[in-house]
A and B are shown apart, each in its own frame.
Chain A
Amino acid sequence: MIPSIPAIPTIPGLAMALLLTTATVCGLLALIVVAERIIRTALAHREEKRRDRVRPHILTIVDGDTPATLPRRDRAALSRLVADTASQVRGEDREALTQWLIGQQFHRAHLRRMKSPFALTRARALDRFAPIAEHAPRSIERMLGDRDLRVRSLAAQVAGRSGMAALVPELLRRTEGTRVIPARIISMAVLRAAPSSIAEFGDTVTDSNHRVRALALDLAGQLNLVDARRAIEAGLDSPSADVRMASVRSIQRLGSPLSLAALKRMETQSPEELFHTEVVIHELTVG
C-alpha cells in the first residue's frame, strides 16, 4: 500500500466536511433560485406599474407639449418608454420624442458609457442611444471603428436603421482594413440607410480598393440609384474582376438601355464574365 494516498481520507473530518460543504452549496443554490424568482417578479411588476403610470405622458410629448414634472424614477421610466416608442414611429412623432429625450440629457450618460472599456457596456449604451442616433452621426461613426467586432456590427445596424446616409462611405470602407465589419452587415446597413443619390457614396465608387468599390457599385444597383449609371459604367473598365462583375450586375438591375454602349465596349476577361455580359446585353436590347 502506498502510504501517502490513504492519508488523505483519514484527515479527520475531511470527507464529512466536503459532504457538508456540498450540502450547504446545494441548499444555497436552491435558495438563490427561489429568491431570484421572487425578487424578479416583484421588480418586473413594479416597473410595469410605473410604465403604465407614465405612459399617458408620451402622448403629451407627441403632441409637442411638455409633460408635468415627474419624480426621478418615473422620469427615468418615461425616458426608457419614450426611447422604445421612438424606434417604432417616424416623422413628426419621432422628432417630438427624440427632441424631448435630448432635452432630458438622455444622450449624456449613454455617450459616456460608449467609451467604457467593456464591450458589453458599450454595446448596451449604443443600443439605448439608437433612437437619437441621427442627431449624433460623429459618435456613431466612431463606434463603427470600435475595437470589438460585435460592437462595430451593432453600430452599422444602428446607422442603417436610423437612415444615416451620411455614414455610407465610412460603412463601405469598413469592408477592408484593420477593423472590418462583415460585408453582409455593411450591405444590410447601407440598404436600410437608403441613400437617395450616388453622391452620398462619396468617393467609394472610385475607391482604389477593389472590394470597397465593388460593394459600392453593387449596392448602388440594389438601391436602384439611377444617377449612378455613369459611375457603374466606369466600373466596367476596372482591372478587378470583382468590380467588373458588380458593375454588370448593377447595370442589369438598373435596366437602362443607355448602358448598352458601355457594355458592348467592355473587354471581358473570362468566359463567365462574357456569358453574364451577353445575358445583360440581351435583356437590355429586348427591353
Chain B
Amino acid sequence: MAVVLIVEDDEDVRALVVHRMKQAGHEVHTEHDGEAGLGAARASIPDLVILDWMMPRRNGLEVCFELRADPLFAATRILMLTAKAQEQDIERALAAGADDYVVKPFSSRELLARANALLSR
C-alpha cells in the first residue's frame, strides 16, 4: 500500500482515478488546484503524485518543479496526466522532473499499471 496524491481540477476524471487507486489498495488524497496540491503534498509526503498540467492557480509543471526542488520529496514519484500531447510538452514535463506521462483521453487501467510500475521501482 502506498500514499497517492491526486491533483486534478476535473471532478469526473478525479473520481475515476481515485476509484482505481483505492481499488488497488492505495491510500488516496486529492486536491483540485496546484497551490492546494503543494500544501497537501507537504502534509502527507506521498509516494506518488498524479498531476494534471492545466490547473488553476499553479499549473502542474510548476508544482512538479517545486516538488523536485524539495529534498523532502526525493523518493516521491510524479506522474503527469494531461491533454497536452505535443512532443515538446512531454519533453518539458520530463525535464521538469516528472517520472511518467499519460495523455488524455486516458485509460484508467493503463494509468494504474504505470502508477504501480513507478511505485515498485
Contacts and interface: CB of A to CB of B under 8 A. Distances in A.
Nearest to A56: B15
Interface in B10-55: 10-13, 15-16, 19
Interface string B68-110: 0000000000000000000000000000000000001111111
Interface stretch (A24-32, A79-87, A133-141, A214-222): A79-87
Interface string A35-65: 0000000000000000100011011001000
Contact of B105 (A51, A58, A59, A88): A88
B107 A89 contact: yes
Interface of B: 10-13, 15-16, 19, 104-110
A90 B107 contact: yes
A55 B16 CA distance: 9
A92 B109 contact: yes
Given A59-B19, A62-B19, A84 B109 contact: no
B107 to A, nearest CB: 3
A58 B13 contact: no
A58 B12 contact: yes
Contacts of A62: 16, 19, 108
Contacts of A90: 105-107
A264 to B, nearest CB: 33
- Candidate in B10, B11, B105, B107 with the most chain A CB atoms within 10 angstroms: B105
Contacts of B108: 62, 89, 93
